Structure 1
Amino acid sequence: MLVRVAAGIILREGQVFIALRSSDKHQGGLWEFPGGKCEEGEVSLSALARELNEECGVEVLEASHFQTVAHDYGDKQVELVFFTVTKFSGEPHGREGQEVCWVPLGDLVNYAFPEANRVIVESLLK
């Protein structure tokens, strides 16, 4: 079963906003770029806007496609559509109680991400 996910790389002043996945979720205990599953028939950008509002309390004002990553975890296949979010309203926070933080781009290597996100971290560090 393929799961389509829209994720936001929220950028501000050389930093990126990341969230810690709940330990009861797939790949729990690892850091991620916030976002979530696309609903049936929902376009990725709409899913991104909905999920970032639900998870982080922000309204996406400007986002552009960054990269799409397909990954097979064995128990789950995912297609992750990453967007850079450069304009938003509201201050991102862990609206669902998740741990979150702003991290300088160069420090991303110090955080453990799910395997499917590593190519994104590498791309951001170039």
Structure 2
Amino acid sequence: MGVILQQQQVLLAKRHASKHQGDRWEFPGGKLEQGESVLSALGRELQEEIGITVTSAEPLMQLSHDYPEREVLLDIYLVTAFSGEPHGAEGQPLLWVPIQQLNTLALPDANQPIVTRLQQQFA
């Protein structure tokens, strides 16, 4: 999962309504493929989902979250440089949000620790 940071704002994508935790805003990224490293998956997913090429990323945090129907383990990277213009390559809306306003949007429950960390570190 990538936290794309630019001028104290982060980029969010809207989850499709039919997906788990649908119709919520999320940090872009996705699942690892067999034999893929976390950084490779980050680059591939951000290219597929929002059309950017990551040029600088560093680990921000790792977390697990238990939903009633599933458990997720998230490797979150802070993306501070990229090439390309972000766009919803899968038809999803994108939104640049000031870090201090992240709590005003509906995000997946698992994302709350990320918001807290960002607000402590950058806001």
Would you call these one fold, judging by a TM-score over 0.5? Answer: yes
Q: For residues 81-123 of structure 1, what are the alpha-carbon distances to aligned partners after superposition, in whole Å with 9 as ceiling and x for unaligned? A: 1000001000111111101111111111111111110000011
Q: How does 1:46-125 map to 2 (within 5 A)?
A: 46-125=40-119
What is the aligned-residue RMSD (CA, Å)?
0.7
SS of the aligned residue for 1:37 comes to: coil
Off by >4 Å, runs of 4+ in structure 1: none
Please identify which structure carries the higher strand content: 1
CA distance in 1: counterparts of 2:85 and 2:103, whole angstroms: 24
Match of 1:23? 17
SS of the counterpart of 1:36?
coil
Work out whether 1:43 is the aligned partner of 2:50: no
Question: Which one-letter code corresponds to 1:93 in the other structure?
Answer: H
Tell me the number of residue pairs that the alignment of Structure 1 and Structure 2 aligns.
120
Distance 2:86 2:76 in 1: 17
Distance in 1 between the 2:83 and 2:91 partners?
Answer: 20
Structure 2 residue runs without a partner (length 5+): none
1:74 Cα deviation (Å)?
2.1
Structure 1 unpaired stretches of 5+: 1-6
Q: TM-score normalized by structure 1?
A: 0.93
TM-score (norm 2): 0.95
Residue 71 (structure 1) shift: 1.0
SS at match of 1:42: coil
